[in-house]
Amino acid sequence: MRIHQMHVTPIAISDPPLLNAAGLHAPYALRTVMELVTDDGISGVSEIPGNVKTNEALESIRDRVIGRDPFQLRSISAAIAEGGDRTDGGTAAGGPDSRGASPWDRRTMVHVQSAIDVACHDIMGKAIGRPVVDLLGGAVRDRVPFAAYLFYKEEGAGGTFGLDIDPAAEGWAAARQRRAHTPDEIVEQARAMCLEFGFKSIKLKGGAFPPDQEANAILALRKAFGPDVPLRLDPNAIWELDTAVRIGLRLQGVLEYFEDPVRGQEAMAALRRKIDIPLATNMCTTSFADLPSAVALGSEDIILSDHHFWGGLLPSVELGRICTTFGRGLSMHSNSHVGISLAAMTHLAAAVPSLSYAVDTHYPWQSEEIVVGGRMQFEDGSLAVSREPGLGVELDRDALERLHRNYLACGLTERNDEVELQKIRPGWGFEPTRW
Amino acid sequence: MRIHQMHVTPIAISDPPLLNAAGLHAPYALRTVMELVTDDGISGVSEIPGNVKTNEALESIRDRVIGRDPFQLRSISAAIAEGGDRTDGGTAAGGPDSRGASPWDRRTMVHVQSAIDVACHDIMGKAIGRPVVDLLGGAVRDRVPFAAYLFYKEEGAGGTFGLDIDPAAEGWAAARQRRAHTPDEIVEQARAMCLEFGFKSIKLKGGAFPPDQEANAILALRKAFGPDVPLRLDPNAIWELDTAVRIGLRLQGVLEYFEDPVRGQEAMAALRRKIDIPLATNMCTTSFADLPSAVALGSEDIILSDHHFWGGLLPSVELGRICTTFGRGLSMHSNSHVGISLAAMTHLAAAVPSLSYAVDTHYPWQSEEIVVGGRMQFEDGSLAVSREPGLGVELDRDALERLHRNYLACGLTERNDEVELQKIRPGWGFEPTRW
């Protein structure tokens, strides 16, 4: 069995105006869909954050992928990284192209590695008639719980081709259009999302308003949902250490974990010594190369894995072992995404014993889908782990074509939340540390 | 597909009188052969160090294995560890039953986990028509180099049922019968072994004679083989720190690595600061639970993995990622073994990118085999990685039965090198630190 074809399709999905430390989500989130087809006609798919540079990188490695056996993950990975650093277990996940200052990751090659890894896993699963999770050591859970991912936001549902405000919308569809700035508006958003999807854990993306306002939102959520619903706050590293200590002391006993309140491993380690809340990160420890200093400094209690950012499913499983070995918990980070990523996240979360936290997902904020059967359905806040071969999803080629046309029409080529927020707050600029 | 039958067969294989820090090898080395058979008739095999306690433990977990899908490695592992420590990634490889003072490992459950893991991998490979290496991320090398493993020894070839001294033996078969105490005798052993098997790296098991005598053997090997043949010395942690420093300074620039010259992570770390030879271990860092202190102390440069001692192939692959991440090299440890273990070691070594050292094997010291086709053939010191489904070996049931009868007849139930040496040196006793 050899990889015979490789198709790279950039898509744009409607995305609401969600606020974060770096600015505002554009009306469309970009994703790139990768399809590999073998000489015996098996198709494997994957989905990664969209960026014109990533798409170019995917095109550039085409010759290194075509003709290869999809089971040879490590040698394919080494071929992709060819000329680069091969000391990182052959996946280049800890390569030299390091994370930038903004809260999304700019490392291109690690996304490329992830795209290939996931599509190959999909092919392998289909070839052997087994779900992807069975290629990762098997399932340790048959359902994966997800968390309600709350955002400060402006009014709107995203998209510019007739998909924005729908006055007839009801329930979550109505709530996801609404503005959310105040604690009451955040609680209202949480109620609608949890009612619709059944989530049992709640995460608030912070870093958008002054810290006490965001802490007040957490306290309002605690009052509304009670102590049995774990709460998380993620200011995306935009706070001063003193601010994080002060807010941390306000939220001790309330937060399940505090995600990247401050920037960098040193500041995280300093904060960790001063407050009694587990610290989580997807910003200060984001690659295998970051782990030795993370362990030496004690910069976090929990790592938010993300197979898109760690080079794929195989390295992510290995990250799970590292977390267990070095006393880290494991949770999972998300970006705006559709069903291929959701399926891959679910298989990964089912395979890793230590992944004991409800998984982040932006999925409720999206409304479109590119897999046959349409939007995936959460039950009681969780997804069943598919027992179908591969990822258990099939490309809806009409939907893919439609969302590819969105990509061509929307004019976006990369994510830039700063520029989006400047459109409604002229002169606004990203600051690595704001409060 | 479900595991339907489990067969546990203890065997005894002829083993020469090899000396080490703990004493002398008995005339027979014990192994336990595990066979799992699925309801659709697929047989998976594995081989682990033999011990009556291990055999009892294997019997005790029978009900937790029968009826399970062999792809569900992590949940089978968790079921085996049931009631024990599940915080170690579900494999219990770092459980509470820690390594004893003698240079072989007494942890029973980790051997049990390994037996199940390897037999399940063999089944999975056969079920999907793929070699085991393809279930571990694929092969990064198509041949695996092994090292000549030299031993100080008494005269004899081992076994008591007509298998000892053969006066007509020639070449390696003659050399493996001979005594080896002096540097010249060690060089003679090395020449015969390398001529027969083509090995390009040499390891000397030390700890049997005074340190300077062993250092002289290394210098004699260097003189005989030149600087292009890497040399290793393994005194099994029986030296004082001062002795190891002194000998280390004699052997700087000569040894590829120095394996466990002193006992414990602290002493290894202290030695590492005083000599300029990479330190390797399979004694001070032998489980996932040992890794945090190993990293904090800096106790070694290279870890000798061993899938029998780390819970199987899946955890061993994960160990490979940890070594890469935390700046450790990876090599591989061995015990007296036959072809099933050799096949499993070869698949593992082919899958792990960082496993860049020639692998230890006792295989040349054994003469029997339990796989169809008989003794495996090294070419230029390496083995080709099988592309046959599973491990690529098939049980020779007549040979298995014969070696099981050896087990019943030999009267041994566990390895005890101290008792064996006392038979020829009355009053001899193991000392954790001798020189």
| The token pair that represents A403 in the structure block | 């969302």
Examine the pLDDT at B161 and tell me if it is beyond 80: no
Among A291, A310, A313, A325, pick the best mutation site for testing chain B contact (most B Cβ within 10 A).
Answer: A325
Distance of CA A415 to the CA centre of its chain: 14
What residues contact B69, with CB distance under 8 A and at least 6 apart? A138, B1, B2, B3
B160: amino acid identity, one letter? T
Interface of chain B against chain A, CB under 8 Å?
Answer: 69, 71-76, 78, 86-90, 94, 127-128, 130, 134-135, 137-140, 288-289, 291-292, 295-296, 314-315, 317-322, 324-327, 351, 353-354
Q: Going by DSSP bridges, is the β-strand pair B19-20/B23-24 parallel, antiparallel, or unpaired?
A: antiparallel
Check B354 against A291: CB less than 8 A apart. no
C-alpha–C-alpha distance, residues A421 and A428, integer Å:
7
Check B75 against A139: CB less than 8 A apart. yes
Burial call A36-48: b when 16+ CB within 10 Å, e when fewer:
bbbeeebbbbbbb
Distance from CA of A90 to the nearest CA of B (A): 6
In the three-class reduction of DSSP (H, G, I as helix; E, B as strand; rest coil), residue B163 is classed as coil
Over residues A233-279, the pLDDT tens digits come to 999 999 999 999 999 999 999 999 999 999 999 999 999 999 999 99
The answer to whether the CB of A356 falls within 8 A of the CB of A329 is yes
Check A89 against B140: CB less than 8 A apart. no
| The token pair that represents A429 in the structure block | 């600029």
Residue with tokens 């605690």: A222
**pLDDT over 90 for what percent of chain B?**
91
Q: What does each C-alpha distance from B8 to A52, A302, B32, B112, B113 come to in angstroms?
A: 57, 41, 7, 11, 14
Report the 10 Å Cβ neighbour count for A287.
Answer: 23
**pLDDT band at residue B229 using 50, 70 and 90 as cut-offs:** very high
**In the prediction, which pLDDT does A162 show?**
56
What residues contact A249, with CB distance under 8 A and at least 6 apart? A275
Rounded to the nearest 10 degrees, the angle between the axes of helix A108-128 and helix A52-60 is 60
Beta-strand ranges (E) seen in A213-321 are 231-234, 255-259, 279-281, 302-305
C-alpha–C-alpha distance, residues A149 and A189, integer Å:
10
C-alpha–C-alpha distance, residues A319 and A282, integer Å:
13
**pLDDT band at residue B100 using 50, 70 and 90 as cut-offs:** very low
CB-CB neighbors (< 8 A) of A94 in chain B: 325
**In the prediction, which pLDDT does A159 show?**
87
Examine the pLDDT at B298 and tell me if it is beyond 90: yes
- Measured in degrees and rounded to the nearest 5, phi and psi for residue A156 equal 135, 160
Min mean pLDDT across B159-168, B301-310, B389-398, B414-423 is at B159-168
Radius of gyration of chain B (CA): 20
Partner residue opposite B74 with nearest CB, options A76, A94, A353? A353
Region at B274 (left for phi over 0; alpha for psi -120 to 50; beta for the rest): alpha
Rounded to the nearest 10 degrees, the angle between the axes of helix A313-325 and helix A108-128 is 100
Q: What does each C-alpha distance from B214 to A392, B150, B151, B362 come to in angstroms?
A: 60, 12, 11, 19
Distance of CA B193 to the CA centre of its chain: 18
Query: What would the mean pLDDT of B129-135 be, rounded to a whole number?
Result: 98
| The token pair that represents B91 in the structure block | 């494999």
Min mean pLDDT across A51-60, A128-137, B375-384 is at A51-60
Distance from CA of A103 to the nearest CA of B (A): 24
The answer to whether the CB of B159 falls within 8 A of the CB of B29 is no
| The token pair that represents A148 in the structure block | 């309600």
**pLDDT over 90 for what percent of chain A?**
91
Check A318 against B317: CB less than 8 A apart. yes
Range list of H helices, B136-210? 171-175, 183-197
Distance from CA of B269 to the nearest CA of A (A): 16
C-alpha–C-alpha distance, residues B80 and B74, integer Å:
10
Check A353 against B317: CB less than 8 A apart. no
CA nearest to B28, candidates B422, B430, B366: B366
What residues contact B8, with CB distance under 8 A and at least 6 apart? B32, B33, B34, B55, B58, B59
Distance from CA of B284 to the nearest CA of A (A): 16
Please report the ipTM that was assigned to this predicted complex: 0.93
CA nearest to A434, candidates A19, A107, A18: A19
Q: What does each C-alpha distance from B291 to A57, A295, A398, B70 come to in angstroms?
A: 37, 11, 51, 29
**pLDDT band at residue A81 using 50, 70 and 90 as cut-offs:** confident
As a dihedral over the C-alpha atoms of residue A133, residue A137, residue A139, residue A144, rounded to 10 degrees, the angle is: -60
Check B325 against A78: CB less than 8 A apart. no
- Element of type H or E holding B231: strand B231-234
Examine the pLDDT at B101 and tell me if it is beyond 50: no
Among B74, B319, B354, pick the best mutation site for testing chain A contact (most A Cβ within 10 A).
Answer: B74
**pLDDT band at residue B106 using 50, 70 and 90 as cut-offs:** very low
**In the prediction, which pLDDT does B72 show?**
98
CB-CB neighbors (< 8 A) of A78 in chain B: 140, 353
Check A71 against B320: CB less than 8 A apart. no
Residue with tokens 């006066």: B167
CA nearest to A259, candidates A282, A241, A275: A282
**pLDDT band at residue A160 using 50, 70 and 90 as cut-offs:** confident
Burial call A100-137: b when 16+ CB within 10 Å, e when fewer:
eebbbbbbbbbbbbbbbbbbbbbbbbbbbebbbbbbbb
The answer to whether the CB of A315 falls within 8 A of the CB of A93 is yes
| The token pair that represents A366 in the structure block | 């999206």
| The token pair that represents B199 in the structure block | 């090995």
**pLDDT band at residue A304 using 50, 70 and 90 as cut-offs:** very high
Is the pTM higher than 0.80? The answer reads yes
Distance of CA A274 to the CA centre of its chain: 29
Query: From the DSSP assignment, how many helices (H) and strands (E) are in chain A?
Result: 14, 14
In the three-class reduction of DSSP (H, G, I as helix; E, B as strand; rest coil), residue A392 is classed as coil
Start-to-end Cα distance in chain A: 55
Query: What would the mean pLDDT of B160-168 be, rounded to a whole number?
Result: 76
Burial class (CB within 10 angstroms; exposed 0-12, middle 13-18, buried 19+) of A419: middle
Mean pLDDT computed over every residue of chain A: 93
Distance from CA of A328 to the nearest CA of B (A): 11
Residue positions of B annotated with a catalytic role = 205, 333
C-alpha–C-alpha distance, residues A280 and A277, integer Å:
9
The answer to whether the CB of B206 falls within 8 A of the CB of B227 is no
**In the prediction, which pLDDT does A161 show?**
62
The answer to whether the CB of B383 falls within 8 A of the CB of B346 is yes
B379: amino acid identity, one letter? E
Check B86 against A321: CB less than 8 A apart. no
Examine the pLDDT at A85 and tell me if it is beyond 50: no
The answer to whether the CB of B163 falls within 8 A of the CB of A98 is no
Examine the pLDDT at A372 and tell me if it is beyond 70: yes
Q: Which residue of B has its CA nearest to A296?
A: B296
C-alpha–C-alpha distance, residues A303 and A331, integer Å:
6
Radius of gyration of chain A (CA): 20
Query: What would the mean pLDDT of B94-111 be, rounded to a whole number?
Result: 50
CB-CB neighbors (< 8 A) of A322 in chain B: 318, 321-322, 325
Examine the pLDDT at B149 and tell me if it is beyond 70: yes
**In the prediction, which pLDDT does B159 show?**
87
Check A322 against B320: CB less than 8 A apart. no
Range list of H helices, A275-363? 291-297, 313-325, 339-351
Check B317 against A322: CB less than 8 A apart. no
Q: Which residue of B has its CA nearest to A290?
A: B325
**pLDDT band at residue B163 using 50, 70 and 90 as cut-offs:** low
**In the prediction, which pLDDT does A163 show?**
62
Q: What does each C-alpha distance from B3 to A125, A365, B130, B307 come to in angstroms?
A: 21, 44, 19, 22
Among A124, A321, A328, A348, pick the best mutation site for testing chain B contact (most B Cβ within 10 A).
Answer: A321
| The token pair that represents B19 in the structure block | 């000396």
**In the prediction, which pLDDT does A83 show?**
42
Q: What does each C-alpha distance from B41 to A293, B56, B343, B371 come to in angstroms?
A: 50, 25, 21, 19
**pLDDT band at residue A84 using 50, 70 and 90 as cut-offs:** very low
Min mean pLDDT across A173-187, A409-423, B103-117 is at B103-117
Distance from CA of B433 to the nearest CA of A (A): 30
**In the prediction, which pLDDT does B428 show?**
96
Report the 10 Å Cβ neighbour count for A195.
Answer: 12
Residue with tokens 């290629």: A135
